A and B are shown apart, each in its own frame.
Chain A
Amino acid sequence: MSNSVFSVISRFVEEYRSSTPNKLKMIDAYLLYILLTGVFQFLYCVLVGTFPFNSFLSGFISCVGSFILAVCLRIQINPQNKRDFQTVSPERAFADFLFAHTILHLVVVNFVG
């Protein structure tokens, strides 16, 4: 049983390494970074306490929001999805990404206190 799971995982990793374009890999690295940051924030809250609750919330929401926006960017840039996003060029997707992030950070900085 574990053998088959292991083989599936290794095959997946192999596929990923070979067929994913570099751009997407970079976005995936960024996503991992965001994820870890969010997890560590949550861990702090669970272990130490929620004292400046608004700060915790703003940081956590920032991670979640950034993750979502990055996922959107990844979907829109992926050449395999080109048919679905004919009006949106990668540059446009990136500009949208930046704009949405500006608003997200404005709100986050307001709330972090």
Chain B
Amino acid sequence: CFYAFVEDLCSLNQCKREQRCVFVTFCPNSCQSIPVSNDTRDLLLATVSEDSTASQIHQSVSALSALGLPLASQEVVSALKARISKEDNVLAIILALLTASRLSQQAELGDILEEIEDLAARLDDLGGVYLQFEEGLEATALFVSAAYSLSDHVDMEPPLKEDQVIQLVNSIFSKKSWDSLSEAFSVASAAASLSNNHFHVPVIVSAQGPAAVSHSHPFLRLQVTDVLCQPLSSASVLAESASAVSSKSAVLSQALFTLRDGVFELNFMASQPASGYYQFSVAIAGDSRFVANHVELKVKVSTRVAINNMDLSVVDKDQSIGPKTTRVEYPTKAKASFMADGHQNFAMTFQLVDETTGVELTPHQTFVRLHNQKTGQEVVFVAEPDSKNLYKFELDTAERKTEFDSISGTYALYLMVGDATLENPILWNVADVVLKFLDEEAPGTIQAKTLYVPKPEIPHLFREPEKKPPTAVSNTFTALVLSPFLLLLILWFKLGANISNFTLSPSTILFHIGHAATLGLMYVYWTHLNMFQTLKYLAIIGSLTFLAGNRMLAQKAKWFPLHFLSFGTRLISQI
């Protein structure tokens, strides 16, 4: 407690009511020696009622209990219950929980205790990993510290299941920097209550450094701490099982870690695991409060690789001459260079073994690189193992000439071996190989492969118009198609088409005009209009023609042949 506040407290009567409460709330219990006036005490007691907000009740109750003043717990409980039902937001209920943890244990805190379960039901599950209130991180962290402080106070286990606690821990400690001081305070408060309460203590297990062992570092080291990174020395760490990821065979079972300098360690190399990845299942026991005390870890076992039996040979293609094999030891280089032209193949075989155990290895990267020192060209091939894990590489110069661009010369041969589980990746200049290609095919100048220049343009080919027949043919056929019309006229004339009975009455004339207009519209439609415009005009002309035609029908003039004749002119459109 800061005694600088004492003077302020003495002059509390002049200060505003809320400020006084805030000053004293966060005092530790030793503030009981501060003298407090009766007015202040009455003010604080008066705040404990249904009409103050939950935060005001919390501040005055905390002030009263910190100052050691008596307060009626049952009144506080009923005021809190009334506030909870009125305010019903997460923060108010959390403050009620915090207030209740300051009250006497004899008070009836059962209803307030039930609020923990109700609040826990309001948490949002995000992907099964995080559990937090929609109000945010601060509310979640304050909830955790309030729930545990009240549970400790009444000595009843909070109704939070193990995976809920794990998810809450994930949410609360998900950020590495916080937006406001109050958010940081809430996280610190949650961390303190999670590492130091009577019921649930989440355990954090992490490997010290990378989770990898090798012959030089045979110990797997684990740090077992609570959320405040305080080591749990009373714990006992047991590796329940360790099995290889690739083959799923168990390597270890029920091995106990030993504690040394606050770190738990296990000599994994003593079980002589082959190199690769292993899945560890670790259990932490020692305290019934431990939560999240079964962990899965992936551990890498590294090793060093050695190259055995590196044999280089030049094999004649027709196999008339036996191959000459030269053995080269790592890391020396073959003294003589090898010659291969179109008639010979160059071959290389070797074995990759674990340096200590001699077990054959198949690393991820086994490359053979040929580098032309003069031109700077390099070509990389992959060496593949056969069924007995013996690596083979064969170079047929005739077959591979495209990769080399048929450039003859001396190439330095390198072997590259690498893998995540190898401690000593290898780049070894094994020998020099002189390759001879047919000289005619070599390009005049060496060009660097241009990958990122603009490509040649693709010209667009427009659709060719279809072949039309010659105009003479078209014209002939047009005449041919129109000729039957003449025939029709002749026939009608012969039959005695009746034009004489042409009565000039307005409806007849209108009908003929309308009819001709329809024909004209058809022609204009063909050349200029679209369907909608045509229908519009046709509606107008058609209705006029129809009315006129009706009138004509009523008159029953001998219109038949003439109209039939005029109608025939429609068929000129069949071109």
- A residues with CB within 8 A of B: 22-23, 25-27, 29-30, 32-34, 36-37, 40-41, 43-44, 48-49, 51, 59, 62-63, 66, 90-92, 94-95, 98, 101-102, 105-106, 108-110, 112
Contacts and interface: CB of A to CB of B under 8 A. Distances in A.
11 contacts: A26-B564, A29-B495, A37-B481, A43-B477, A44-B477, A49-B469, A63-B574, A98-B549, A102-B538, A105-B522, A106-B538
B567 A101 contact: yes
Interface string B562-575: 01100110110111
Contacts of A40: 477, 480-481, 483-484
Interface SS, B side? helix
Given A44-B481, A48-B469, A91-B556, A30 B564 contact: yes
Contacts of B518: 102
Contacts of B568: 30, 33
A90 to B, nearest CB: 8
Contact of B574 (A22, A29, A41, A95): A41
From B466, B467, B534, B573, residue with most partner A Cβ within 10 Å: B573
Interface stretch (B171-179, B185-193, B221-229, B486-494): B486-494
B546 to A, nearest CB: 8
Contacts of A112: 526, 573, 575
A44 B574 CA distance: 13
B570 A48 contact: no
B549 A23 contact: no
B58 to A, nearest CB: 85
Given A26-B561, A92-B553, A112-B573, 4 more contacts: A32-B491, A33-B488, A108-B574, A110-B525
Contacts of A106: 522, 525, 534-535, 538
A102 B474 CA distance: 28
B468 interface: yes
B531 interface: yes
Contacts of B549: 95, 98
Contacts of B574: 37, 41, 59, 62-63, 108
Interface in B415-448: none
Contacts of A95: 549, 553
A26 B567 CA distance: 13
B473 A91 contact: no
B488 A30 contact: yes
A30 B491 CA distance: 9
B379 interface: no
Contacts of B567: 98, 101
Nearest to B535: A106
Contacts of A41: 481, 574
A25 B560 CA distance: 13
Contacts of A98: 515, 549, 567
Contacts of A29: 488, 491-492, 495
B538 A51 contact: no
A30 B477 CA distance: 20
A4 to B, nearest CB: 29
A59 B526 CA distance: 13
Interface residues of B, number: 43
Contacts of B561: 23, 26
A105 B570 contact: yes
Nearest to A45: B477
B469 A66 contact: no
Given A26-B564, A63-B574, A51 B526 contact: no
Contacts of A63: 574
Contacts of A30: 488, 564, 568
B522 A109 contact: yes
A67 B563 CA distance: 17
B323 interface: no
B142 to A, nearest CB: 78
A96 B225 CA distance: 100
Nearest to B484: A36
A91 B480 contact: no
A108 B523 CA distance: 11
Contact of B542 (A25, A48, A91, A102): A102
A108 to B, nearest CB: 7
A37 B497 CA distance: 21
B496 interface: yes
A104 to B, nearest CB: 9
Contacts of B495: 22, 25-26, 29
Given A22-B495, A98-B567, A33 B534 contact: no
A95 B515 CA distance: 12
Contacts of A91: 553, 556
Nearest to B523: A109
Contact of B571 (A27, A34, A51, A90): A34
B26 interface: no
Nearest to B518: A102
A29 B487 CA distance: 9
B5 interface: no
B119 to A, nearest CB: 75
Nearest to B481: A40
Nearest to A101: B570
A51 B468 contact: yes
A91 B575 CA distance: 30
B381 interface: no
Contacts of A48: 469, 473-474, 477
A7 to B, nearest CB: 25
